[in-house]
Amino acid sequence: MARAHLSHRNGGWRLFVALPVGRLWPTHYFAGPAVPTVQERSQALTELNYALTDEG
């Protein structure tokens, strides 16, 4: 099962989809230091061909 993760490093945010196999995970970088909103994260996942769900 793929899971999305949000990380902060060097003043920026990145969202990536951790896949069970492979080394290259789909990634989206956000501009600016502000924490991306849920809507921004959902849009980024859509651009990566994934969808935000309520599953934990």
Predicted local distance difference test score (pLDDT) of residue 56? 55
Q: Spell out where the chain has E strands.
A: 3-9, 12-18, 27-30
Residues of the chain with pLDDT under 50: none
Judged on CB neighbours under 10 Å (0-12, 13-18, 19+), 47 is exposed
Q: What predicted TM-score, i.e. pTM, was given to this entire model?
A: 0.86
Predicted local distance difference test score (pLDDT) of residue 29? 97
